[in-house]
Amino acid sequence: MPEPTPEKRPFSKILIVGAGPSGLLLALLLSKHGIPTHILEAASHLDPQPRAAHYGAPAIPEFYRAGIIEKMAERGGLVLGGMCWRYPQADGEEEEGKAGYEEHGIVAGFDAGQVMREVEVELDGGKKKMDLRTHCLALQELDQLMLEEVTERYGGTVAWEHRVVGVGQDDEGAWCEVEVGESKEKKVVRGDYVVGCDGANSAVRRALFGEEFPGFTWDAQIIATNTYYPFEKYGWWDANFIIHPEHFFMAAKLTSTGLYRITYGETPNLTHSQYLSRQPHKFHTILPGHPLPSDYQTINFSPYRMHQRCAPKFRVGRVLLAADAAHLCNPWGGLGITGGFVDVGGLYECLSGIWDGKADEGILEVYSEKRIEKWKTIIDPISQENFRRVSDREPGTRLERDGFLQLLKRGETDQVLLKELLMGPMEVRYDFTQHYHDAGKK
Ligand SMILES: Cc1cc2nc3c(=O)[nH]c(=O)nc-3n(C[C@H](O)[C@H](O)[C@H](O)COP(=O)(O)OP(=O)(O)OC[C@H]3O[C@@H](n4cnc5c(N)ncnc54)[C@H](O)[C@@H]3O)c2cc1C
Ligand SMILES: *[C@@H]1O[C@H](CO)[C@@H](O)[C@H](O)[C@H]1NC(C)=O
């Protein structure tokens, strides 16, 4: 089938709600393909909170597709090499040496560089060698890069201070009811499709399903910080997960200048200022070297709750959901926006397929079904297990009870097995082009 001529395109504009990572990546992929996009964003600027910073293998092909992989590196992006799980240190109550394991000793670990540095990936009808190691760049930097690409390079537009409060649709198109600026002046913005990329409290999801967002919230608290601390001095790796029921934490490299993401467990239901005042004691207890506040510098500090939730559907007619608006998981293992970026890549395949006359609207139903299936069968169970692993009641015996850690341990001397393990998460990807009209005829 020939490509439709410009005046015969099946639609003319995609409305995206939210200029967070998922909305920006979707706008970038679509506008790069020549599809007009318009983003409605409630805030007046990009979100500066310390959230995602590490993007796992399944998200990487989308960075190549968006043409930003080199620019990420230019802006200080890194790839992580070594990742390991560690035993805790004695917390003062138990005597040193009594725990039965070496304090902060490695339970299991791997260096992705050996097997993930150059992997052949099939994308957009061709094969390409990609570096599938976990990539790292603070979310606000990645957002800024994608925003510039969308608006300065591909002609996508963003309306700031446009808060979506309602969504509607008919046979002709879909629209958003918007409150603009401080005056909250009401206005209606129209497009052919509306994609809700508006995060955990999505107004688009609420317009479709009200308060219905099945799943649960963990009775646990985490604090995310960005902290300068010389972990290298203690021989620590790029990413370290420390197992403990109370003092579990993660320390992962953020920049080449000594900044780390330290995310640690805390007691639920305290106030922000209580968490702040407990932080020095917490770091003294959990970090290698038992540092005092003068030994580190914390530049961001944010308490978070964690959720496992998935919307009933990711598509109702001309209205679609992606990333946190569609599903939530805890951040241990970095499957949050990694999974969100994979949604976005899939939705891009569906919408660009319709645009090019290679697919009909029914492909959007497949998007909803397949992305929900991937969340339920992979992202939800694996992310739950990741949190249970790091917060295990008995760190000393976790390895004996943990098939994944045992396989990783075998992978330390078996590269074939290691690659198989590290490629496992790529299963969250789904190729929607197999539902194009001409699929399989080539
Ligand atoms: C501490 C922490 C660490 C994390 N680490 C990782 C990690 O390393 N790797 C990973 O993959 N994931 C991680 N995550 C998860 C990741 O941050 C989220 O999955 C991601 O930010 C979701 O992106 P999003 O675009 O879906 O939504 P958001 O980032 O929430 O963006 C939504 C945007 O929509 C806007 N908006 C909201 N409502 C409206 C409205 N009504 N109208 C218009 N605009 C609206 C908001 O202002 C915002 O700009 C982490 C999360 C936390 C809390
Ligand atoms: C925190 O508060 C919630 C809601 O009130 C409650 O269900 C939970 O048990 C509390 N958790 C702890 C550890 O106190």
Domains, the chain, ranges and CATH?
6-79+132-214+308-387 (3.50.50.60)
Specify burial of residue 204 (Cβ count, 10 A radius: 0-12, 13-18, 19+): buried
Alpha carbon nearest to ligand 2 atom 6, residue = 219
pTM across the whole model: 0.95
Ligand 2 and 269: CB distance under 6 A? yes
Higher pLDDT, 242 or 102: 242
The preferred substitution site among 337, 347, 375, 378 for testing ligand 1, maximizing ligand atoms within 8 Å of CB, is 337
Q: Are 151 and 157 in contact (CB under 8 A)?
A: yes
Report, as an integer, the average pLDDT of 40-65: 94
pLDDT score of 32: 98
Query: What single-letter amino acid sits at 390?
Result: V
CA angle centred on 44, ends 39 and 47, rounded to 5°: 85
Q: By C-alpha distance, which of 131, 138, 162 is closest to 48? A: 138
| CB atoms near residue 376 (< 10 Å) | 12
* Residue of 39, 46, 51, 139 to mutate, ligand 1, most atoms within 8 A of C-beta: 51
Does residue 408 have a pLDDT over 80?
Answer: yes
pLDDT of residue 333: 85
* Cα of 76 vs its chain's centroid, Å: 19
Phi, psi at residue 46, to the nearest 5°? -65, 150
Spatial separation of the C-alpha atoms in residues 367 and 350, rounded to whole Å: 7
Q: Which residues pair with 300 in a beta bridge?
A: 226
For residue 285, give both structure tokens: 């207890």
Residue 96: what pLDDT?
54
Q: In terms of pLDDT, which residue wins out, 332 or 91?
A: 332
Between CA 418 and CA 291 the distance in angstroms is 35
Closest-approaching ligand to the CA atom of 339: 1
Ligand 1 neighbours by CB, cut-off 6 Å = 17-23, 40-43, 47, 51-55, 163-164, 197-199, 203, 224, 263, 304, 323-325, 331, 334, 336-338, 340
φ/ψ of 163, rounded to 5, equals -90, 120
DSSP 93: S
Residue 357: name the closest of 15, 34, 2 by CA. 2
**Which residue has a Cα nearest atom 12 of ligand 2?**
268
Ligand 1 atom at minimum distance from 306 CA:
53
> What was the pLDDT predicted at 94?
54
In whole angstroms, how far apart are CA 385 and each of 180, 242, 284, 402? 42, 15, 28, 10
Q: How far apart are the first and last CA of the chain?
A: 13
Q: Which ligand is nearest to the CA of 269?
A: 2
Q: Is the pLDDT of residue 230 over 90?
A: yes
* Ligand 2 atom 7, closest CA: 219
Distance from Cα 52 to the centre of ligand 1, integer Å:
8
How far is it, in rounded angstroms, from Cα 442 to Cα 428?
25
Closest CA to 191 of 235, 241, 156: 156
Nearest listed ligand to the Cα of residue 21: 1
For ligand 2, is residue 268 a contact (CB within 6 Å)? yes
pLDDT over 90 (residue 376): yes
Locate the ligand 2 atom nearest the alpha carbon of residue 269 and give its number. 1
Q: What is the band of 5 on the pLDDT scale with cuts at 50, 70, 90?
A: confident
Q: Helix, strand, coil: what percent of the chain each, to 5?
A: 35, 25, 40
pLDDT value of residue 164: 98
pLDDT at residue 289 above 80?
A: yes
CA distance 196 to 201: 11
d(CA 368, CA 312): 9
Cα(376) to centroid of ligand 2, in Å? Answer: 26
The fraction of the chain above a pLDDT of 70, given in percent, is 96
The rounded Å distance from CA 58 to ligand 2 centre is 35
Residues in Cβ contact with 439 at an 8 Å cutoff, skipping those fewer than 6 apart: 433
CA distance 83 to 418: 13
Three-class secondary structure of residue 86 per DSSP: strand
Beta pairing partners, 228: 259, 297
User: What is the overall mean pLDDT for the chain?
Assistant: 94
- The two structure tokens encoding residue 362: 């029914």
Residue spans of alpha helices (H) in 67-171:
69-74, 113-116, 139-148
Ligand 2 and 216: CB distance under 6 A: no
Q: Which ligand is nearest to the CA of 337?
A: 1
- Ligand 2 centroid–CA 313 distance in Å is 30
| Cβ neighbours around 377 below 10 Å, total | 12
